[in-house]
Structure 1
Amino acid sequence: MAFTIILTIVGLVLVLSEIFLIPGVGVAGVLGVLSLGGACYYVFYEFGLLAGAVFTAAILAVLIGLIVYTIKTRAWKKLALNTKIDSKVQNIEEEALSVGDSGKAVTRLAPIGTARFDGKAYEVKSLEGMIDAGTEVEVVMFEDNKIYVRPVSADF
């Protein structure tokens, strides 16, 4: 019986930490579900069908109750990011940049990085793989609000 209690507590802690602390399908959630499943199996095996069904229903009720309690107490507000985002996506149409403009890679383009054209920094994507910082680049095309560049010395 102690083994079942330990598996249940460990399983509940792991599942709840996966739900509220570590979002995603990770190791904690998988181990928690396996632990709870093992506890349910052990109860069915050791104590019979009725005890196993009651135990499984109790585990599900506890999980659902904790989730409902968390939602009603607005604990999600503490977990959510409430910061207002004031930045904007780089809009190429309003910028004074055109195909053939030359600039310099400020960061390594691997393949995305920053390049400076006419004193302004832009996020760019290399068409030719990695480009080291400080390399002269030229604008090749615009597509899906992205600026594609290649090294000036490279020939197509």
Structure 2
Amino acid sequence: MGLIITLVLAGIILILAEIFLIPGIGIAGFLGVLSLCGSCWYAFAYMSPLTGAVVTIVNVVLLTVLLCYAFRAKTWKKLELSTVIDNAESEEKACVGDKGKTVTRLCPMGTARIGNKNYEVTAFEGMIDAGTPVEVVHIENNKIYVKVIMPDEAF
């Protein structure tokens, strides 16, 4: 009788693990169902037919309760991510005419701080050293082009 109880418990645990813990192709679920079937077979083969019938009924009831609980909406709410990801951009974008300073050397691409944010920018002409004041002259396909400005025009 102990083997039957062990097989039933192992089957239920494996099925629960398949539903809630183990993503994949269903090996744990298959082993769980196999364990439950094995408990029924063992009860019929080595115990009385009455014991086999009782074990089968218990397995069916346990599986029904388990599946009803598993497919309730509240069960899945505990497992799913409830954070809402907003697709709208709230950050400021660089505009033509904005001024800033290069953070890295632009040869021809690098980083410039425009406003309060660092952007990947491209030098409009030649190469620009780090720390040089620049101005946005063109934006095309999310690519920002900058040119050198005189320090007195910087800010």
For normalisation by structure 2, the TM-score amounts to 0.49
Rg (Cα) greater in structure: 2
For normalisation by structure 1, the TM-score amounts to 0.49
